[in-house]
């Protein structure tokens, strides 16, 4: 079932459709391999099919949907190679951001990060993975913002849809509480100004994400690309 989001005042119809589809693809309301029904989406969003087709073309360029002539449009299966390459990019970026953040983090920044972690714990205990995902994304975005790298975060976010599906699935794993604990250790290192420790925790955090790949393959085999 498609979850409908409110439309932002500055969004074009195409941008709105893109945000709704991306949200639902990441949270698996639209599952890998599922056929996209343009008529149903048009009816649910109460807009014409033109901006829907434009949004689907954008998603096709990002390899998140597959447009098959005479067959239809389908949600792409999770390509673990694409996810792996994106995670490599994130690993390199966030390791260096950890060093930078230790230089410029403020007490207010630390408060914001700790508040975010407290909310993560709440949503983990409440078994609300969609909300927990939002908090996790915001936590990492705060690090970019602390380092005055908001534009870089926007670029990364624009490419993150493949990775965020994996992120969402990993949040359903019982052991995700360990990653929240790593967030706590990471903030402790930032507060202490210990760049080496912060970088080491960032590396370990990403390594654990790589380790989730095999669990996801075994637990959700029907979602994974076989090519």
Burial class (CB in 10 A: 0-12, 13-18, 19+), 66: middle
In the chain, the N- to C-terminal Cα span, in Å, equals: 28
Name the band, by pLDDT with cuts 50, 70 and 90, for residue 209. Answer: confident
- pLDDT given at position 211: 83
Cα distance between residue 209 and residue 205, in whole Å = 7
Strands (E), 1-156: 65-68, 72-75
Name the band, by pLDDT with cuts 50, 70 and 90, for residue 136. Answer: very high
Question: Token match 């599952």: residue?
Answer: 31
Q: Is the pLDDT of residue 123 over 80?
A: yes
- pLDDT given at position 69: 87
Cα distance between residue 21 and residue 25, in whole Å = 6
* Cβ–Cβ < 8 Å for 172, 84: no
Global pTM? 0.88
Delineate the domains of the chain, giving CATH numbers in brackets. Answer: 13-75 (1.10.10.10), 80-223 (1.20.120.530)
Question: What is the mean predicted confidence (pLDDT) over 112-129?
Answer: 94
**pLDDT tens column, 167-200:** 898 887 766 777 899 999 999 999 999 999 999 9
Question: What is the mean predicted confidence (pLDDT) over 80-85?
Answer: 92
SS3 165: helix
- pLDDT given at position 226: 79
- pLDDT given at position 182: 93
- pLDDT given at position 174: 66
**Taking the alpha carbons of 79, 85, 91, 94 in that order, is the dihedral positive or negative?**
negative
* Cβ–Cβ < 8 Å for 74, 36: yes
């Amino acid at each position: 079932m498609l979850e409908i989001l409110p439309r932002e005042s500055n969004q074009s119809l195409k941008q709105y459709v893109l945000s709704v589809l991306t949200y639902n693809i990441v949270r698996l309301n639209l599952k890998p391999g599922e056929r996209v029904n343009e008529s149903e989406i048009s009816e649910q969003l109460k807009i014409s099919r033109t901006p829907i087709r434009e949004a689907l073309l954008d998603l096709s360029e990002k390899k998140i949907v597959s447009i098959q002539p005479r067959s239809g449009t389908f949600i792409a299966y999770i390509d673990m190679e694409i996810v792996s390459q994106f995670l490599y990019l994130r690993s390199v970026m966030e390791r260096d951001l950890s060093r930078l953040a230790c230089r410029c983090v403020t007490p207010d920044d630390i408060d914001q990060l700790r508040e975010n972690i407290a909310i993560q714990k709440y949503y983990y205990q409440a078994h609300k993975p969609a909300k927990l995902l939002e908090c996790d994304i915001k936590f990492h975005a705060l690090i970019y913002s602390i380092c005055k790298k908001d534009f870089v975060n926007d670029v990364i976010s624009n490419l993150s849809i493949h990775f965020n599906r994996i992120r969402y699935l990993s949040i359903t794993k019982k052991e995700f509480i360990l990653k929240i604990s790593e967030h706590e250790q990471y903030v402790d290192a930032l507060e202490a100004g210990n760049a080496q420790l912060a970088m080491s925790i960032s590396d370990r955090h990403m390594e654990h994400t790589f380790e989730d790949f095999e669990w996801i393959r075994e637990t959700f085999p029907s979602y994974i690309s076989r090519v």
